[in-house]
Amino acid sequence: QQQVKQSPQSLIVQKGGIPIINCAYENTAFDYFPWYQQFPGKGPALLIAIRPDVSEKKEGRFTISFNKSAKQFSLHIMDSQPGDSATYFCAASIGLGYSTLTFGKGTMLLVSP
């Protein structure tokens, strides 16, 4: 069964800290790894995504690190702000548009002022 394991379940950091959220997958056929961000009372929204041909991708303060051999990928948030407080989901899928996303169980991040 396709699985994506996400950790930690929750995370508290101080403003300016660098929270790191980790995900591990089992299916080596996965080739698309997005992160979604969800604020309370809202639907998730795509934050950043990576494909396995690169080991790192940065968009603003958000960075995905990808380790193909370990079948792991992680999200780093540089200079975290209280406005980053949200639930973050990692996900994975096979092929562009040919399969559905398998989501991790989510990490609730709180950035204290």
Contacting residues toward other proteins, per CB under 8 A: 6, 9, 32, 34, 36, 41-46, 49, 89, 93, 96-98, 100-101, 103-106
Q: Which CB, 63 or 93, lies closer to other proteins?
A: 93
For residue 107, the cross-strand partners are: 88
Q: Which is nearer to other proteins, 41 or 83 (CB)?
A: 41
CB-nearer residue toward other proteins: 9 or 69: 9
Structure tokens at 9: 């379940």
Least CB distance to other proteins at residue 16 (A): 28
Q: 19 vs 106, which CB is nearer to other proteins?
A: 106
Q: What's the min distance (Å) between Cβ of 43 and other proteins?
A: 3
Least distance to other proteins, CB of residue 87, Å = 9
For the chain, the 3-state helix, strand and coil shares in percent, each to the nearest 5, are: 5, 55, 45
Cα–Cα dist 71/102, whole Å = 15
Cite the DSSP H helix spans in 1-113: none
From the number of C-beta atoms within 10 Å of its C-beta (0-12, 13-18, 19+), residue 22 rates as middle
